[in-house]
Amino acid sequence: MSQIHQFDHTAMKTTFVLRIVSDDATRAHNAAHAAITRIDEIENTLSRYIEGSDVFRINHMHAGQTLFISETCYDCLRLATDAHAQTGGRFDITLGALIEHQKNACNGSAPSITGALRIDPDRPMITCDAPGREIDLGGIGKGYALDQLKDLLKEWDIESALVSAGASTQLAFGSKTWPIELSGDAYRLTIELNNQALSASGIGIQGSHIVSPSECNEPATYPYKRAWILQPNATLADAWSTALMLIDNDLLRDFEAPENALYFETSSGIQTLEQIQATIT
């Protein structure tokens, strides 16, 4: 009889939790061990804080310099570029210096965002046309890792699982449906997750860490405390939940949801996009 086997692992400044459904405890343990190894590999590649990682090296490039990078980093950067386009530019991984300034409430003026990076469309290579941009994959890296875990667990013949990166992003696959609670400051809402990813962003834990690319020098304002989105994969869910924190009511009035459900924490509770649109005049 299948049981749920749980494994925890700390990485990427959060705790990854793997809930693996299997009737073979040894297989679940071995699959989890492989998954944890993969998480560490991804962190060592994508973290901007680990000296020698691909992202660390990119952030220290000089004008005209070109770097060959790993397939993992290249894949994640390409997906982040797609997310940038899909969110109308609201999701931007090149604002690392500004994110650090805002998150840490640094004194003085915010750093200017200048420079340009160019990703080769055909090879795992990136060029610094002008310095100034710093990559921060905090808004997509955890979701990317979960998608990688899904593929890996399937290779281990794991039919169903729920994998999560802290409380921010969760990914379910297989036949099992998982009840998931959306937790706001004063409200709770339980939804069911099945073969989908759920991601949340907000200001409750990390404060004002989400930066608007169009208002880099303005104080951060957020129309909602939290936003949640359901998507087919965790990478897109991660990126979209970040972008949703930057969408005001004027944009939401005619906003078309990107394929799946959206939820926002308001003063009236946790509401869907459709409920919010019905109240916007």
Is residue 8 included in any domain, yes or no? no
Residue with tokens 């394929």: 259
- Dihedral pair phi/psi, residue 218, rounded to 5°: -105, 150
Is residue 79 included in any domain, yes or no? yes
Q: What is the count of structural domains for the chain?
A: 1
Is residue 1 included in any domain, yes or no? no
Write the pLDDT tens digit of every residue in 85-110.
Answer: 999 888 999 986 566 655 555 555 66
Is residue 36 included in any domain, yes or no? no
CATH number (domain holding residue 75): 1.10.3980.10
Write the pLDDT tens digit of every residue in 115-160.
Answer: 899 999 999 999 999 998 999 998 899 999 999 999 999 999 999 9
- Dihedral pair phi/psi, residue 232, rounded to 5°: -65, -30
Write the pLDDT tens digit of every residue in 28-74.
Answer: 999 999 999 999 999 999 999 999 999 999 999 999 999 999 999 99
Confidence at 266, pLDDT banded by 50, 70, 90: confident
Per the rule left: phi > 0, alpha: psi between -120 and 50, beta: everything else, 88 is: left
Q: How would DSSP label each residue in 215-240? A: GTTSPP--S-SEEEEEESSHHHHHHH
Is residue 136 included in any domain, yes or no? no
Alpha-helical runs (H) found in the chain: 25-46, 54-59, 71-86, 96-103, 141-155, 234-244, 249-252, 273-279
Is residue 71 included in any domain, yes or no? yes
Please give the distance of CA 98 from its chain centroid, rounded to a whole number.
18
Is residue 164 included in any domain, yes or no? no
State yes or no: pLDDT of 186 exceeds 90: no
Domain that holds residue 74: 53-130
Three-class SS of residue 268?
coil
In this prediction the pTM is 0.91
- pLDDT score at 125: 98
Is residue 263 included in any domain, yes or no? no
- pLDDT score at 280: 85
